[in-house]
Amino acid sequence: MFPRDALILAPMAALTTPALRWLVKDFGGCDVYFTEMISCAALLQRGPYEDSYINPEPEPDKLVYQLVGSDIEKAAAAAEFLDERPGLGVDFNMGCSAPEIVRANAGVAWMKDPRRARSLAAALRKRLKTKTLSVKLRAGYEDNFEYLSAFCRGLAEEGVDFISLHPRIKKEKFSRLARWDYVAALKEILPIPLIGNGDVKTFASWADKKERYGSGGIMIGRAAARAPWFFAFLRQKEKDPAFQMTVDLEAVAERFLDLLPRFQPEDFLKSRAQRFFFWFCRNLAFGHGLFVSINNCKNFETIKKTVLDYFVQYPEMRYKTEKN
Ligand SMILES: Cc1cc2nc3c(=O)[nH]c(=O)nc-3n(C[C@H](O)[C@H](O)[C@H](O)COP(=O)(O)O)c2cc1C
């Protein structure tokens, strides 16, 4: 399916667009790219924005589409639709804890009812002929490893090919560290690969998680949004511990601003650019000031100008050396 030490780009709403995936690819790529979550209902209605969600670029063979929804029949129909498109797999979101998603009985709400989750997995399995089936989840509503492991075993019995675990419980959002010991323990009892996810932000944290907890691959979200070169950096530093990577931030920002309109509908450009620069600005000294300016922009064109002007005004910010 993919290598045991696979590097996987996490699904992130409004972030893991083809534009961000292209930036990752520019630096050498990763082993698997997730899309952001895609609403089953909207996909089936073939709404005006759906083509941008399911665009498989830049490496269709490594792409996993992530679905979100609460209705088993709609989810199965959406999976069937995606099964006929280019791509590696279809994932189902059982981890999102955003209040509007949970209220709609989707995301982590699936973890409340193992039988319902199994029925969904079985329905998806039946419709997927060419794609892998995976599920991404949190540790659950409560901190209860026995419940989590029974839940995951049930999914495996219904034919799920792999599971990605972000081991925080529902109410934790990003507070406290992810429970990577759950990744290690769950991996031992599951008959299918388990991908670990959460808090990999440096080479040392990646190497540590690989060595101490093992897993069928490691999924990275926020660090890749800040630094689309992060996967390339990890691979090279693995070969040479003294490796440092100097990145032309201005070139990356320009490339993103060029890529985004190629893949996103006009209505999404401002919000998606703001979401990307929220993370990207963390590479810059005084980046918060730039982000506030970007956030106050009325449209994409002004964001573009603000970013380009910044590098004219502060040419010393152009290069960053990634060391850790
Ligand atoms: C802005 C943002 C959007 C996210 N959207 C999704 C999503 O659409 N689907 C999903 O399963 N997880 C989503 N997540 C969770 C990430 O996939 C990942 O599990 C989490 O960020 C922990 O990994 P990290 O520490 O490497 O960032 C999102 C996270 C962030 C920060």
pLDDT in tens, 55-102: 999 999 999 999 999 999 999 999 999 999 999 999 999 999 999 999
User: Over the stretch 279-307, which tens digit does the pLDDT of each residue have?
Assistant: 999 999 889 999 999 999 999 999 999 99
Burial zone of 266 (CB within 10 Å; 0-12 exposed, 13-18 middle, 19+ buried)? exposed
pLDDT above 90 for 173:
no
Q: Helix-strand-coil percent breakdown of the chain, rounded to 5?
A: 50, 15, 30
Measured by CA distance, the residue closest to atom 22 of ligand 1 is: 198
Which tokens sit at 220? 């990275």
- Nearest-atom index, ligand 1, CA of 164: 19
Q: How sure is the predictor about 175, in pLDDT bands with cuts at 50, 70 and 90? A: confident
Which two tokens mark 260?
């985004």
- CA dist 94 and 84 (Å) reads 23
Q: Is the dihedral of CA 277, 280, 281, 282 positive or negative?
A: positive
- Identify whether the C-beta of residue 24 lies closer than 8 Å to the C-beta of residue 39: no
Q: What is the mean pLDDT of residues 161-184?
A: 94
pLDDT (mean) for 248-256: 98
Task: List phi, psi (to 5°) of 62.
Answer: -110, 15
Instruction: Give the DSSP letter of residue 193.
Output: -
Q: Which residues of 89-111 are buried (b: 16+ CB within 10 A; e: fewer)?
A: bbbbbbbbbeeebbebebbbbbb
pLDDT computed for residue 318 by the predictor: 97
The predicted pLDDT at position 33 comes to: 98
Q: For residue 188, how many other CB atoms are within 10 A of its CB?
A: 9
In 3D, which of 260, 123, 119, 138 has the Cα closest to residue 198? Answer: 138
Nearest CA to ligand 1 atom 3: 12
Q: Does any ligand 1 atom lie closer than 6 A to the CB of residue 13? A: yes
Name the residue with the closest Cα to ligand 1, atom 14.
Answer: 12
* Ligand 1 centroid distance, CA of 124 (Å): 22
Confidence class of residue 242 from pLDDT cuts 50, 70 and 90? very high
pLDDT of 234 strictly over 80: yes
pTM, to two decimals: 0.98
pLDDT in tens, 120-147: 999 999 999 999 999 999 999 999 999 9
**Cβ contacts of 207 within 8 Å, gap of 6 or more:** 238
Cα of 312 vs centre of ligand 1, distance in Å, is 33
Give me the pLDDT at residue 84, please.
Answer: 97
Q: What is the distance in A from the centroid of ligand 1 to the CA of 2?
A: 21
pLDDT of 215 above 80: no
Shortest-distance Cα residue to atom 13 of ligand 1: 12
The pair of structure tokens assigned to 241 is 């511990």
pLDDT over threshold 80, residue 34:
yes
**Angle 93-95-96 (CA atoms, 0-180°, nearest 5)?**
90
- The residue whose CB lies within 8 Å of the most ligand 1 atoms, and thus the one to mutate among 110, 111, 165, 166, is 166
Mean pLDDT (the chain, rounded)? 96
What does the pLDDT average to over 156-182?
94
Q: How far, in Å, from the CA of 243 to the mean position of ligand 1? A: 28
Task: Tell me what the mean pLDDT of segment 228-252 comes to.
Answer: 98
Mutate to test the pocket of ligand 1, among 9, 12, 177, 279 (most ligand atoms within 8 A of CB): 12
Ligand 1 contacts CB of residue 11 (under 6 A):
yes
| Ligand 1 center to 11 CA (angstroms) | 6
Question: For ligand 1, what atom is nearest to the CA of residue 220?
Answer: 26
Once rounded to an integer, what is the mean pLDDT over residues 18-33?
A: 98
pLDDT at residue 286, as a whole number: 85
Please give the number of the atom of ligand 1 that sits closest to the Cα of 93. 11
According to the model, what pLDDT value does residue 216 have? 84
